[in-house]
Amino acid sequence: MAKLTVKDVELKGKKVLVRVDFNVPIKDGVITNDNRITAALPTIKYILEQGGRAILFSHLGRVKEEADKAGKSLAPVAKALSEKLGQDVVFPGATRGAELEAAISELKDGEILLVENTRFEDIDGKKESKNDSELGQYWASLGDGIFVNDAFGTAHRAHASNVGISANVEKAVAGFLLENEIAYIQEAVEAPERPFVAILGGSKVSDKIGVIENLLSKADKVIIGGGMAYTFLKAQGYEIGTSLVENDKLDLAKELLEKAAGKLILPVDHKVANAFAGYTEVKETADQNIPAGFMGLDVASKTIADYNTQLEGAKTVVWNGPVGVFENPDFQAGTVGLMEAIVKQPGVKSIIGGGDSAAAAINLGYAEKFSWISTGGGASMELLEGKVLPGLAALTEK
């Protein structure tokens, strides 16, 4: 990685600003999934062990007006982080002002403070989300010239709490999580051990045009599943029943199929139902065609067998997007079969690009079998598309 990392800077006695991604689900004041907090621990612990004074920034949800602040405080996160670290986490409950500044000035080496939800600054002119220069300068002034970005999930956005702070400190460096995310995802795409197979699911072709085009030029095969597969199948002349389709993208799908020259792999059969919810009939199709009155909600047994064939011998696999409605037990066999086909390949580097794919692996018990599960769906998508992430670009070069 061509950027400085947290190991390249002296931390002892320094007030170290750290952007983390604590955008965790909270229901009735209780965190329902703390994976993002756990993922940030190695960097936080390293800073504290080195004698740094860690000042953490994170957003939580979207905040556009005063009413949106309800249930969006990072107070539950401060409590959970304190329990995981086994030490107090100072939480002034503010994004700026005298109380916050006083609390920071009282920090001692090895102590930690969490700033309130950075998106609270969006109520007055979207200062966080629009990278307000004054806000970036103010937050940077709270530290001693060192900023550690460990929030991969927001690295594709130029906000005051990442790009803004970076522009106003002596050194902006990557934390361990950000470093690993870049190493796994970017290096898998740019310098993969071959065969390299990319798998893309999700509902819309329009969401992943750039990703498909980039991966067709990089991967040996691109497997398409999920709702967007039906647009490709209709473009080839197959019947798709009432399945999800983007009719305005049929010509684009044809162009991508031609450009792929056989690299693009589509389902060969489907598991279908006569409704998305409240269905009374579920069956497998004999081939790619879906009968009238039915919609595709998963791939079926022939496609699952084909996944095993297509992935045989793969050394690098990047997967983004389930291939069925995995939240429903009736339509999760395809996603499970795909995961089994991936993880059984000897010596494979298997990477999940966050989002629903990560949720599927975690919820269905396959998380430990993958080499890496990204913490940022949107950021990983932009890396797969070959884009430069603003949060990464803003870091100090080695």
CB 380 within 8 A of CB 320: yes
CB 150 within 8 A of CB 43: yes
Alpha-carbon distances, residue 112 vs 17, 45, 103, 396 (angstroms): 10, 10, 10, 24
Burial class from Cβ neighbours inside 10 Å (0-12, 13-18, 19+) for residue 316 reads buried
Residues taking part in catalysis: 36, 204, 355, 378
Residues contacting residue 94 through CB under 8 Å, at least 6 positions apart? 100, 115, 116
Q: Enter the tokens of residue 247.
A: 């009719």
Length of the chain: 398
Alpha-carbon distances, residue 142 vs 17, 145, 164, 245 (angstroms): 8, 9, 13, 50
Three-class secondary structure assignment of the chain: CCECEHHHCCCCCCEEEEECCCCCCEECCEECCCHHHHHHHHHHHHHHHCCCEEEEECCCCCCCCHHHHCCCCCHHHHHHHHHHHCCCEECCCCCCCHHHHHHHHCCCCCCEEECCCHHHHHCCCCCCCCCCHHHHHHHHHCCCCEEEECCHHHCCCCCHHHHHHHCCCCEEEECHHHHHHHHHHHHHHHCCCCCEEEEECCCCCCCCHHHHHHHHHHCCEEEECCCHHHHHHHHCCCCECCCCCCHHHHHHHHHHHHHHCCCEECCCCEEEECCCCCCCCEEECCCCCECCCCEEEEECHHHHHHHHHHCCCCCEEEEECCCCCCCCHHHCHHHHHHHHHHHCCCCCEEEECCHHHHHHHHHCCCHHHCCEECCCHHHHHHHHCCCCCHHHHCCCEC
